[in-house]
Amino acid sequence: MSVFKHEYRAYTGPVTSLPSRIVVLARYALAEAWSSKITVALFIASMIPIVVYLIIIYLANNPIARALILRGNSGGLDINASFFLKVLASQCWLALVLTAWIAPRLVSFDLADNALPILLSHPISRFGYVLGKFIALFSCLSLVTWVPSLLLFAYQGYTSPQPWVNAHLRVAVGLFAGCTLWIALLSILGLALSSWVKWRMVATGCIFAAVLIPAGVGGVVSAILRTKWGLLLNLPVMMSQLWHRLMGVPDSIRFGRDIPSTAIAAMLALICFVCVVMLNARIRAREVVRG
Amino acid sequence: MIELDGLEVRLGGRTVLDGLTGELRGNAIGLLGPNGAGKSTLINTLLGFHEPARGAARVFGLDTRRDRARIRQGIGYMPENDSFIGNMSGVRFVRFMAELAGLPPGEALERAHEALFYVGLGEVRYRKISTYSLGMKQLIKLAQALAHGPRLLILDEPTNGLDPMARQRMIQTIQEIRKEGSIRLLISSHLLRDIDETCDEVLILKQGRVAALRNIEEERRSNRNFIEMETVGSTAEFCERLRGLGCECASFPDGRVKLVMPDTIDVRDVYVLASENKIEIRRINRRRDSLEDIFLRAMESEPARGDLVSI
């Protein structure tokens, strides 16, 4: 099968290992995600808060710059767990926006043209397919969440005149754990919802709706039944409480409104389980050509 | 190449494949059957998408249940319906599929270009697939199935929706692949002519069972020429002389004559004999035992369940 002879030639060369096929899927999914200018624009927008936080850390640790720019007023420039909690929260909400844009691009093109029968006729399983897409989305979200957050942490450790890092190691661990939990949840949720909606823009709306509408419903349930358990439907509140606990920052939530960590963990596990079931059902239904 | 051992597949509580047993060893196997006979289910089972409820299917000696990945490694699959990523260019799509099949990126790119030229899409390989015509979309599916050099190529309705020119080109390409010899073919089609032109074996399914498994080449070789004539004049001596040429002949009182000609005899010889015996031939109808006859006979007969059929 050479171009000039137009003849078929059997392939006799080396073959890659089975697990590496998942990386192939992830690589092509990443390329698909970054082929959109909107993805690049959103990524740049997600980096703006990081630049602002970087300047704050610089000013907090540089007395001369502080004297010149802030004229000696250093109020609000304490770099501690609360500061990094703000970093985590802002980046994690930007990650939601990025998920709403990228996740539908990774799945809907495959579904729109019924590509799953061909894709899955290759030596790759349903799990491998989802894992490849998950890795791609998780990698994109990592670039705007825990990677820049930990770089800020490292920069603070480097510029701080006192031995700062050892005293705040829990902040770094909390940053990493809080971000990875959130983006893992967003990735699986984004893929599951995108797999059920054929149109990308609708899928984008569904991802926002899946986070915000149950939050509203949870608020109504809590108000009417006078119970805190309605908050289990409120993903932003649940995650905020979890982040506070992971970073060791005192929670400012009203007394009696805090949810036990085990309940939050169980709710997150339930959401992930539902998403996996949705993905499995959808891909199973689309993997074969129905005669 | 393909072994079916009492294969039973149930989907949604309904038995779709019912105790298929047989061995397919030919280079190009046609899969025939009416709608709902179980052709696509058999293909999907061979690819490992459906698990057998009972029995087993083996491809290259590997069990479809346990060795799914290894079987898929050696198979190129061209599905019946549209199945591609419309947002990708032709060459990128074929390269992607080749990489998924295990080719290193560099090799995959090279083979993608070659496969696209081979099927006749070389000039449009950088265009997005969504802009391709129906015929081109069929060809890109064939290209991706070929790119990784499979041992078995499964083509599901390869000429579906093609115009006569595109169909002819597809048939020629399949014939070339068969002639080359390194790939075995399993072709599912509703069109008997497609199977007739491309396959040397045919597996006919009916109601999820094997209705017939025939070697088309052997059938062709054993084919006999049937001729039916309407004549005016005395046919007794005419028939005697036809028998003398080696024909089997039967005459009827209304002047009808039926004969089976050996391949060595030409119809012209019949005309010559008729002229010599002063017989007027008013009508002559010649027909060969075709794949259509094999198919129709299979449809009339009761399909076998569990009987071993092999060629």
Q: What is the pLDDT of residues B150-185, one digit of tens each?
A: 999 999 989 887 888 888 989 998 998 888 888 899
Residue to substitute from A12, A25, A289, interface B, most B β-carbons within 10 A: A289
Residue B295: the pLDDT is 76
| Residues of chain A with C-beta less than 8 angstroms from the C-beta of B107 | 11, 13-14
Residue B308: the pLDDT is 47
| Residues of chain B with C-beta less than 8 angstroms from the C-beta of A116 | 83
Q: What is the mean pLDDT of chain B?
A: 86
Going from N- to C-terminal start, the domains of chain B cover 2-220+294-310, 225-288
**Residue B256 DSSP code:** E
Whether residues A109 and B87 touch (CB distance < 8 A) is answered with yes
Residue B224: the pLDDT is 62
* DSSP secondary structure of B24-85: E--SEEEEE--TTSSHHHHHHHHTTSS--SEEEEEETTEETTT-HHHHHHTEEEE-SS--S-
**B94-141 pLDDT, tens digit each:** 999 999 999 999 999 999 999 999 998 889 999 999 999 988 999 999
Distances B261 to A70, B81, B267 between C-alpha atoms, Å: 110, 44, 9
- A118 in contact with B at a CB cutoff of 8 Å? yes
- A1 in contact with B at a CB cutoff of 8 Å? yes
pTM of the model as a whole:
0.83
Residue A290: the pLDDT is 60
Angle at B215 between CA B211 and CA B221, to 5 degrees: 130
pLDDT over threshold 80, residue A70: no
Helix (H, G, I), strand (E, B) or coil at A92: helix
Helices A20-34 and A126-142: crossing angle, nearest 10°? 50
Paired strand residues for B14: B11
**B46-61 pLDDT, tens digit each:** 999 999 999 999 998 9
Helix (H, G, I), strand (E, B) or coil at A13: coil
**Cβ burial B112-123 (10 Å sphere, 16+ → b, else e):** bbbbbbbbbbbe
- Closest alpha carbon within chain A to B130: A113
pLDDT over threshold 90, residue A85: yes
Residue A9 pLDDT grade (very low, low, confident, very high; cuts 50, 70, 90): confident
Residue A229: the pLDDT is 84
Angle at A107 between CA A104 and CA A113, to 5 degrees: 115
CATH of domain B2-220+294-310: 3.40.50.300
HSE-up (13 A, CA, CB side) for residue B203? 33
Structure tokens at B292: 């259509």
Give the closest residue to A82 by CA, choosing from A113, A53, A44, A61: A53
Class of domain B225-288 (CATH, top level): alpha beta
Whether residues A109 and B86 touch (CB distance < 8 A) is answered with yes
- Shortest alpha-carbon distance between residue A132 and chain B (Å): 11
Residue B310: the pLDDT is 43
Whether residues B77 and A118 touch (CB distance < 8 A) is answered with yes
Whether residues A118 and B99 touch (CB distance < 8 A) is answered with no
Residue with tokens 């029968």: A117
The amino acid present at A100, given as its one-letter code, is A
Is residue B107 a contact partner of residue B142, using CB atoms and an 8 Å limit? no
- Give the whole-number percent of chain A exceeding pLDDT 70: 93
- A window 120-139, beta carbon within 8 A of B: 120-125
Q: Which residue has the higher pLDDT, B193 or A73?
A: B193
Q: Which residue has the higher pLDDT, A134 or A224?
A: A134
Q: Which residue has the higher pLDDT, A50 or B264?
A: A50
Of B101, B104, B144, Cβ closest to residue A123: B101
Whether residues A1 and B115 touch (CB distance < 8 A) is answered with yes
A:B CB pairs within 8 Å: 128
| Residues of chain A with C-beta less than 8 angstroms from the C-beta of B73 | 15, 123
Residue B288: the pLDDT is 61
Residue B311: the pLDDT is 40
**A164-219 pLDDT, tens digit each:** 888 889 999 999 999 999 999 999 999 999 999 878 889 999 999 999 999 889 88
Residue B289: the pLDDT is 59
Residue A74: the pLDDT is 64
Whether residues A10 and B99 touch (CB distance < 8 A) is answered with no
- Shortest alpha-carbon distance between residue B291 and chain A (Å): 23
| Residues of chain A with C-beta less than 8 angstroms from the C-beta of B9 | none
Is residue B177 a contact partner of residue A8, using CB atoms and an 8 Å limit? yes
- Give the whole-number percent of chain B exceeding pLDDT 90: 33
- Closest alpha carbon within chain A to B97: A119
Highest mean pLDDT among A268-282, B56-70, B244-258, B294-308: A268-282
- Shortest alpha-carbon distance between residue B272 and chain A (Å): 49
B26 Rama sector, left if φ>0, alpha if ψ -120 to 50, beta otherwise: beta
- Shortest alpha-carbon distance between residue A108 and chain B (Å): 10
- Shortest alpha-carbon distance between residue A182 and chain B (Å): 30
Residue A1: the pLDDT is 54
Residue B252 pLDDT grade (very low, low, confident, very high; cuts 50, 70, 90): confident
